[in-house]
Chain A
Amino acid sequence: MRGWRWLAPAIVVLLAVTAWPVGRAIWTSLSTDPATSPGDRSFVGVDNYVDVLTTRTWWIAVAATLAIITVMVVLQLLLGLAFAAALRRMTVLWPVARVVVLLPFALLAVVSAVVWRDAVTTGFAAAWFRLDDLGPVGQLVAVSLGEVWRGTGITAVILLAGLLRVSTSLMASAVADGATAWQRFRRVVLPAMAPAIAVAVVYRALDALRMLEGPLLVDQPGTDVRTVPVLVWDTTFSRFELGLGAAMSVLLLVFAVLLAAALVPLLRVRRTV
C-alpha cells in the first residue's frame, strides 16, 4: 500500500497526459464534427471507423506506411550494424566518431526532409542522376531515405551497445573450435546483441510509423499514395473533419500497438547456445 502512494503522482500524470487525450480522441471519433460547421455536428457511432476501413485510400496509405517502415528499418539495421562494427574497432578516433555518427540525428526531421527533397528535385541528385520530375512518390522515397540517413547513427549506437556485450573469450573459444564466420555471428554475436536489436527495431519502426514532416512536405493535391500520418493530418488540420480525423488517429494508435505487439515477441531473446 505504501508503494501505491509513491506511484500515485506518476499514475495521475500518466493518465492526464495519455488517457485523457486518447479518451477524448475516441469520443470525438464517434461524431461527425466539421470544425467550421458546428451546425452539422452529430453523433454517428462507429460510422467514421466503417468509412475509413472500407475506403481504398486508407488501405493504400496503410500499405505505403508498412512498406516505408520495412524498408527504413531494414536499411537502418544493416547500415547501423556496419557502422557499429567499424566503431567497435576504432581506437584513436573513437571519441570523435561517436559524436559524428549522431550528428544527423541532431538535425530537425523537417530540415533533413527539405534537404533530401531538394536534392532530388533541384539539387545534386537531380543533376548527377539526371532525374526529371520524380513526382510525389519519388519525392516520398527521397525523404524516406533522408530519414534513414538521419536515423542510422542512433541505430548504430544502440547496436554498438549490443555488440560490446559479445564476450571476447566466448568469441576466442568459437574461433578455437573452428566455427565459421556465419556460425560465430549466429551463435555468439546475435544472442548477445538480440536485446539491442529488439530495441533498435521497435524504436525505429515506431519512429518511422509516426514520420510526418517529410511525407507532408512532398504531399501534393491529388496524390494517390499518402502515408497514414499524412492522411490523419490532412483530414484533421486541412479538411477540418475532426471526427473522421480522430477515428483515423485512433486506428493509427491501434496500428502502433499491433506493430509493437508483433515485433516484441518476434525479437524476444532466445538462448541458442
Chain B
Amino acid sequence: MRCAAAVLCVCLAAGACGADGDRPGAVPTLTWYVGPDRVDAPALAATCTEQAGGAYRIAVEQLPTDVTTRHDLLVRRLRAADDTIDLLSLDTSFTAEFAAAGFLAPVPRGKVGALRAGIAQTARAAATYDGELVVAPWFMDPQVLWSRGNLAERAGLDTTQPISWDDLVAGAQRLGVTIQVQDRDGSGLSDWVNALVSGGGGSIVTGAGRDAEVGLAGDAGRGAASTVELYEESQVGPGPSRDALSAFAAPDGGFLLASVSAVADPALAGVSGDMVATAYPAVGDTSVAPLAGVGLAVPKHAPRTDESWAAIECLTSPELLRPLMAEAQHGASRLATYNDPAVKGAFPQGEVARAAVKSGATAPATPYWFQVVRALDETWRPTAGVTQDTTPDTSQAAVEAAIEGTLR
C-alpha cells in the first residue's frame, strides 16, 4: 500500500513538473507537424533552433502520408483544442476549411506584409481566407509533364508550347509508352479533375458557403470527363496511381504528370538525370497545372504563438527557401527564390515551374473542399468508368449533396 502511494506521489510530482520546456529558464520546445513532403524538416528545424539562440527549440513530428487520414486526424485534434501542436505544415487545400473552423491563430498584423511580399499570386490566394492572410505561404508545387530524354521529340511533340491532351495521348500510343499520373497521397484524382475543369474555363466550386455553385455539369466538366475518357480508351496508363513514379521508371515509362519535386523522389533515382519537364498538357489553348503546396500555420490553441511565428519567419527566410528548392525540389512560393543563383543550377525545371505556378489551379477556397474531394473520388473512380455523358451529372449531384450536407 505504501509502495503504491509512493508511486502515485512520484507520478503526480512528475505531472506537476510537466515537460522540460515548461521549467523556468528552460528552452521552450515548439512541436512542428510536417506532412509527407520532400523537405528535410529536421535539418531546417536544427538551423532555426540554432538561429533562435536559445529562444526556442523545434522538434519535428510526422503527419500521416494519406491525405484523408492526415485531414481527419488534424480536424479531430484541432477541434478538441489540442495545444501540443505549435507549428503546422498545412496543405493548401485545407486552408479555407481550417480558417473557417477557427482552428488557426491569426497572423500577427506586423508580419502580414513581410509574409505576403513577393509571393506568387496563386500561393497568396491559397493562403488567404475571407480577405485575411491565415497562413504563411511556403511552397507551391505545380504539376508538370515529365518525359525521359528526347522522348517528346520522338513522339512528334512540340515542347516549346503547351501540348494538347490529344497530341500527348497520340504520341504515347505511337511510341508504345505509358502516361503515368501521380497520386502521391490520395488527392491525385481531385487535383487532376480540378485542373482539367479549370483548363476548360470552369470551376468545380464557386463560393464558400452551403449555397456554393457547382460547375461540373457544364461544358468544362464535360470537357474534363472527355479528356479522362480519351486517356482511358487509349489505354496509355492506369490513371492517378500511387505507383506512378516507379511505373514511369520502368522500361515502357514515357510520360509522367507529377509535381516538380517528383524528380527528387528515390523511386526515380535511376532516371532522374534523364528527366525533362515541360508545361502541363492543355485542355484548350493554355496550360493549367494542378497546384498544391504547403503553408505554415499556427493552431489557435498553440501555447507559444510568439515563438511559433518567429520560427515561421525563420523557415520562410530566403536562406532556408534555398535548400527547399535546390535540394527538395519544391517550388518556393516566394518567386524571387527562383532567381537565386544557387537555386538556378540545382533547379533546372525552374522556368516551367514558375510559369505553372502563375497560371495553375489550386483547390477552390471553400470550407467544404474536402467533402468535394470525397464526392469526386466516389464518382470519378474507377477512371475507366468515366464518360462525358453521365459522369459530370452524377458528380455534380454528389458534389452538391456534399456541400449542402445532405445524404446522397
Contact = CB atoms under 8 A, between A and B. Distances in A.
A222 B381 contact: yes
Contacts of B97: 36-37
Contacts of A38: 100-102
B68 interface: yes
A61 to B, nearest CB: 10
B98 interface: yes
Given A36-B98, A238-B68, A238-B374, 18 more contacts: A35-B79, A36-B75, A36-B367, A38-B100, A39-B100, A39-B209, A40-B367, A52-B407, A55-B406, A57-B407, A57-B408, A221-B377, A231-B407, A235-B407, A237-B72, A237-B76, A239-B402, A243-B405
B371 interface: yes
A119 to B, nearest CB: 24
Contact of B367 (A34, A51, A55, A237): A34
B378 A244 contact: no
B255 to A, nearest CB: 26
Contacts of A57: 407-408
A57 B75 CA distance: 26
A116 interface: no
B209 A239 contact: no
Nearest to A58: B407
Given A222-B381, A237-B72, A240-B75, A34 B405 contact: yes
Interface of B: 68, 72, 75-76, 79, 97-98, 100-103, 209-210, 367-368, 371, 374, 377-379, 381, 402, 405-408
Given A36-B97, A37-B368, A39-B100, A222 B379 contact: yes
A37 B374 CA distance: 17
Contacts of B210: 32, 40
What DSSP secondary structure best describes chain A's contact surface? helix
Contacts of B378: 221-222
Nearest to B404: A32
Nearest to A234: B374
Contacts of A32: 210, 405
Contact of A51 (B100, B102, B402, B407): B407
A51 B75 contact: no
Contacts of B76: 237
A37 B75 contact: no
Nearest to A222: B378
Contact of A244 (B75, B377, B381, B406): B406
Contacts of B367: 34, 36-37, 40
4 closest Cβ pairs, A-B complex? A36-B101, A222-B378, A221-B377, A37-B367
A37 B407 contact: no
A147 interface: no
A35 B75 contact: yes
Nearest to A44: B405
Contacts of B101: 35-38
